[in-house]
Amino acid sequence: QGSRVACPGHGAQEPCLRGPTAAAAAMSASIDCDIQTAAELDEHLKLVIHPMQRPEHLHPGLDSRPWHDAGDFPWCKVLEENFESIRRELRAVMEDWNAWPLVRGQNALTAGRGEWREMVMLGPGSEHGRRLCPTTASLLDAVAAAKALADSEGALGNAIFARLTPGTRLAAHCGPTNTRLTCHLGIEVPDGCGIRVGTTTRCWREGECLIFDDSWEHEVWNTGTRDRIVLLINFWHPDLPSEQWPEIAEELRDGFLDC
């Protein structure tokens, strides 16, 4: 079941919008809605998404923009302050290739050129990574919105060390849901790396966090001469109160994941 949202000016209920037709559906809804006040119009426009934001699951009413300010999330500063400890743990296991499986389904994005590997730190499959990098694991456990997302069945989020080998490019794609944001803490960042989200391209810096909404179209590349590694953290969108997290996780598990 999708979330139920009331069309402004009406008592009728509509399901949470899904898939590439979500924007068109939201636009067409305006024909049927009797919008009488500025507040109703503002609420209604929250259902109209940008064509570059195409998640399979769309929860209405969330702040929607490609990039967010890391300064709005105090835990980002904690990660940055502990960057050297995180990198020290990471470097100790960089040559342990048993700890770096290929990301499932990566060929759809890499077209078989280059490699996208991961070491899972929160969520299913994280036991090995957490043993190898206990300080990093402890820091991630303190990020409530990330830990809760990773621990909720079907909520489509985790935390990983994400590794791109030289020559790898992840093709433009959209994440599965707008109910989460993503943090990248730059760990190993050679020249020639970048990420585009929406129409804006940025570069990582070692020891600094970038925050973006991966339900927007994004692509990533490494044209450098050594591996690019970031600590990738999915976390609940800040507009979702924590008491709603279990409900949204259930929606994703019972509705979206069964589509």
Q: Which tens digit of pLDDT belongs to each residue from 206-223?
A: 999 999 999 999 999 999
Q: For tokens 């585009």, name the residue.
A: 196
* Residue 25 predicted with pLDDT over 60: no
Could you tell me which residues are beta bridge partners of residue 185? 209, 231
* Cα distance between residue 167 and residue 222, in whole Å: 6
The predicted pLDDT at position 47 comes to 52
pLDDT in tens, 145-186: 999 999 998 768 999 999 999 999 999 999 999 999 999 999
pTM of the model: 0.82
Contact 235, 180 (CB under 8 A): yes
Mean pLDDT over the full length of the chain: 85
Average pLDDT for 25-35:
41
256 band by pLDDT with thresholds 50, 70 and 90: low
